[in-house]
Amino acid sequence: KSAPQQRFDFAGGRFNALLSDFAAEPGWDLYEAQQFNIIFISPQTPKYTFPACFHPVFLERPSTSRRIITSLKPGTMAGDKGRGGGAGEKRRPRDLGRGEWSRQNIDKRARHEQQAEAKRRKIENGDEPQDPIYATQFSKEEIDNEERRPKKKAAVLLGYSGTGYSGMQLNVNRKTIEGDLFAAFVAAGAISKANAADPKKSSFVRCARTDKGVHAAGNVVSLKMIVEDPDIVQKINEKLSPQIRVWGIELTSKSFSCYQLCDSRVYEYLMPSHCLLPPHPSTYLGRKIVESAEQAGETDALAARQEEVAGFWEEIDEKHIKPILENVPEDVRQVIQKALYWKENQEAPEGAEDASAVAPEPNEQPPTEQSTETSEGQPDQMDPRQQLIHDTIKSIKAAYNAAKRNYRVPTSRITRLQECLNQYEGTKNFHNYTIQKTHRDPSSKRHIKSFNVNPTPIVINGTEWLSLKVHGQSFMMHQIRKMVAMAALVVRSGCPPARINETYGPDRIAIPKAPGLGLLLERPIFDGYNVKASSLGREHIDFSKFSKEMDEFKQREIYDRIFREEDETHAFASFFNHIDSYPVEYFLYVTAGGISTAKLVTAPGSSKPSSTAQSGNSQQEALAAVEAESEDEANPPDGGEEGG
């Protein structure tokens, strides 16, 4: 059989095959791994070698395995550095795509036996193994006496509020959604006592993981479970916190995996409209935006993009802040002004140490959100001057918060936000919107089907909120929260929306992640599986049949929690104020100077020479300083997948 003359490009240890003609060839199976843009071909003959002008590629028949075997050698083509880059560079195993992961030849029985053997050795050595907090332990006698009942593969449709939980995924010593859910399955009799300590024995798989504090109106886990009891859903819910609800259980095909067969996901993000207000002119970012526009000759363009918010902060300062400051003595007023609006390279005035005792420097904390609470017992130690400073700063903070709550975003500003969200649609390289991925990593490319903001805001407890919905095939860890933060930064800084397109290049920039408080997984979509389910006589995996219960749950357990927590913590205002006041250049890519203005940790092929490791550490420190949550990103679960 002669091979059609197709072109193969080999780069970075991978190849892209232009094999469309094979689709018409009888005896060839064509299936695509979209995540890597690689098309796998399986001939009916045991092996097939492409012509000598190409690198030899061998493929096995689908009847034996859907696995691609290559004899490609990195560095054999001109200009190709192979998987690990140039000589002397550290090579890191690439991330597996969803399709490739599913084709791994893993001996699960051997893996379980190894884990059991490791546990046995620990016991023999006197080390007491720590049981996961989600495991339910039963005696051997209880397990032996339990009636054996048939298990069936099923999809469990659920929703939850992530407040108080360390994410969706199982954790040995932390409270998680899956941990509580698995324990409820055991307590309700949906999982046998013999399998009560190990979810793997039930083939427990999640559709999408969510980060700490992130909510889900709809999510799916699949597993082998006992479903003969018609009241099993009610019994499971009785064992769960009101924050977690099981909507229904659908029997599936034996090979069903909610992770593998999920076509796409829809997320919603809620944020107050005051997140689109520009930085206060006295903050570091506020000053740099103006300075950069003047240097680039773009003052008029900046003013045009900020027309609807021009003079907002000046009016607030004149009407609400100035009267507060006029009620204190001149010497105290100067101390407070310097403590709140300390200019760069300006010496502290005499007496500033009095303010530092009750308020941190503004470069570390913003004027509107800085902590004015003293340590335990400190109010008793304050002299009258310090107490006056403390009370005045607290009043100023309350005035700024009230001004933000009363802000109502103009339609033109929502339109500009939509222009920013449009920049994300399509297949893009989102390496800057996650962690531990490079521009060269094929898994950094993700496809966004749509990203829209509801043009009609809602007002809850005096604060105006915007709803953003994104529909994508798959998402990486923190990707959605970083996309939201970047879009908001572009709008509030008067930056052209097209700046977002520059973030897909090789330059590495520090994009902070917006608070997880506002993110929720609305639902996963299984259109492809549902077509197959109809032919098998199975029910579709469809959340619409539970819409009434889900809407009530979303309002009570998710939306109300988000609104209430924001009123108590001011998480969004604090997040953006930290960015505005942090005195480093890492976030200046939203100024007229562009991405080249920011101090970057650059990648091969970028516009700037590589920075030192110390710069990389400083960049991470800057992100940690402005982000509300302190999450462990050293070892992200699931390879950093599906974190939102």
Question: Residue 550 corresponds to which tokens in the numbers above?
Answer: 């889900």
Give the Å distances, CA to CA, from 114 to 104, 124, 230, 352: 18, 15, 38, 64
Looking from the CA of 75 toward its CB, the CA atoms found within 13 Å total: 4
Binding residue numbers: 267
Query: Phi then psi for 218, rounded to 5 degrees?
Result: -145, 130
Question: Residue 173 corresponds to which tokens in the numbers above?
Answer: 């010593």
Distance of CA 24 to the CA centre of its chain: 41
Residue 211 known to be catalytic = yes
Question: Residue 435 corresponds to which tokens in the numbers above?
Answer: 């962690």
Instruction: For residue 514, give the DSSP letter.
Output: P
Residues paired with 458 in a beta bridge: 465
Please state at what angle helix 330-340 crosses helix 384-405, rounded to 10 degrees. Answer: 50
- Rounded to a whole number of angstroms, the distance between the first and last alpha carbons of the chain is 47
Instruction: Please give the torsion angle defined by the CA atoms of residues 553, 558, 561 and 562, in that order, rounded to the nearest 10 degrees.
Output: -150
Cα–Cα distance measured from residue 218 to residue 550, given in angstroms and rounded to the nearest whole number: 8
Cα–Cα distance measured from residue 512 to residue 490, given in angstroms and rounded to the nearest whole number: 13
Binding residue numbers for substrate: 267
Concatenating the DSSP letter of every residue in 49-112 gives ---TTS--EEE--TTT---EEE---TT-STT---TT-STTPPP-PPPPPHHHHHT----HHHHH
> Which of 285, 310, 289, 309 has the alpha carbon at shortest distance from 362?
285
Burial of 520 (0-12, 13-18, 19+ CB in 10 A): buried
Interstrand relation of 458-460 and 463-472 (parallel, antiparallel or unpaired): antiparallel
Query: Phi then psi for 584, rounded to 5 degrees?
Result: -135, 165
Among all chains, which residue has been given the structure tokens 């036996």? 113
What 289-298 contacts at long range (C-beta under 8 Å, 24+ apart), as own/partner pairs, is 289/493, 289/494, 289/590, 289/591, 289/592, 292/588, 292/591, 292/592, 292/593, 292/597, 293/494, 293/591, 293/592, 295/592, 295/593, 296/592, 296/593, 298/592
What 528-531 contacts at long range (C-beta under 8 Å, 24+ apart), as own/partner pairs, is 528/261, 528/263, 529/252, 529/256, 529/261, 529/263
Question: Residue 155 corresponds to which tokens in the numbers above?
Answer: 């999809």
Q: What's at 539, amino acid-wise?
A: E
Cα–Cα distance measured from residue 324 to residue 371, given in angstroms and rounded to the nearest whole number: 19
Catalytic residue among 95, 211, 317, 507: 211
The helix or strand, by DSSP H or E, that contains position 29, with its residue range, turns out to be strand 28-33
Cα–Cα distance measured from residue 639 to residue 93, given in angstroms and rounded to the nearest whole number: 12
Cα–Cα distance measured from residue 212 to residue 246, given in angstroms and rounded to the nearest whole number: 20
State the catalytic residues.
211
